[in-house]
Amino acid sequence: MTSRNKRLAVLISGRGSNLLAVLRACAGGALDAKVAVVLCNNRDAPGLAVAANAGIATQIIDHRQYARREDFDAALLAALAAHDPDAVLLAGFMRILTPVFVTPLTGRLLNIHPSLLPKYPGLNTHQRALAAGDREAGVTVHFVTTELDGGPPVLQARVPILAGDTVDTLSARVLAQEHAIYPLATRWLLQGRLRLTAAGAELDGQRLPAAGLPYVAGLE
């Protein structure tokens, strides 16, 4: 198969701005791939319209219909299998996933987390960075493993925290970086340049730093 045929699945729960960034990268040629399906656990997610506007198939799988997390995860996995994705992107997907989902996809499953991991796994990252008086914040793309926000980082972008920042101003500054780094890390994965090994994440055969590669504009 050539890289032109690479297929992505994107899982969302909300706004879908990272989905849009990936779709734009596909449309503009920066990402030689197609989003085959968008899965969503929330039928009110604004991101569903982002997918529909791009003519992408969407499927809603409501976690509230499943008694156990594992059953929900099995339903997600079955929905993905029908689209045969080369890589699966979590893009604001607000459910904790179990090994039922993660294990079969390990090495092909990425997440984007709005903090400088390993700092601030979990929720409210910008609020926590502001409350701690941090001087900088950022975002990390990482491989997903069964540890929450704990899989090997791939790519990390930093932004300054400025005097007077609020969660809104800071998250907007971080989001601009998210939209640059997620399509890039995805491209590396689809090109086979990015790999998850027993020792951690590797790019072009080189072990990546523990916090991921520092992103700088122009990085290819």
The reply on whether position 185 binds ligand GRF by CB under 6 A is no
DSSP string, 88-149: EEESS--SPPPHHHHHHHTTSEEEEESS-TTS--SS-HHHHHHHTT-SEEEEEEEE--SSTT
Catalytic residue among 63, 83, 113, 142: 113
Smallest distance from the beta carbon of 127 to ligand GRF, in angstroms? Answer: 13
**Candidates 13-21, 36-44, 64-72, 155-163; binding stretch for ligand GRF (CB under 6 A):** 13-21
The reply on whether position 17 binds ligand GRF by CB under 6 A is yes
Using CA atoms, how far apart are residues 134 and 154, in angstroms rounded to an integer? Answer: 22
The reply on whether position 61 binds ligand GRF by CB under 6 A is no
Would you say 118 or 192 has its CB closer to ligand GRF? 118
Residue 181 near residue 155, CB atoms below 8 Å: yes
Would you say 15 or 202 has its CB closer to ligand GRF? 15
Would you say 49 or 78 has its CB closer to ligand GRF? 49
The reply on whether position 114 binds ligand GRF by CB under 6 A is yes
66-86 b/e (C-beta count within 10 Å ≥ 16 → b): beeeeebbebbbebbeebebb
- Could you check whether the bond before residue 153 is cis, i.e. omega within 30 degrees of 0? no
Smallest distance from the beta carbon of 192 to ligand GRF, in angstroms? Answer: 25
Would you say 82 or 123 has its CB closer to ligand GRF? 123
110-143 b/e (C-beta count within 10 Å ≥ 16 → b): bbbbbbbbeebeeeebbebbbeeebeebbbbbbb
Residues of span 127-166 touching ligand GRF by CB under 6 A: 139
Number of residues that bind ligand GRF (CB under 6 A): 14
Residue 113 appears among annotated catalytic residues? yes
Q: Which residues bind ligand GRF (CB under 6 A)?
A: 12, 14-18, 47, 91-92, 112-114, 139, 178
Catalytically active residues are 113
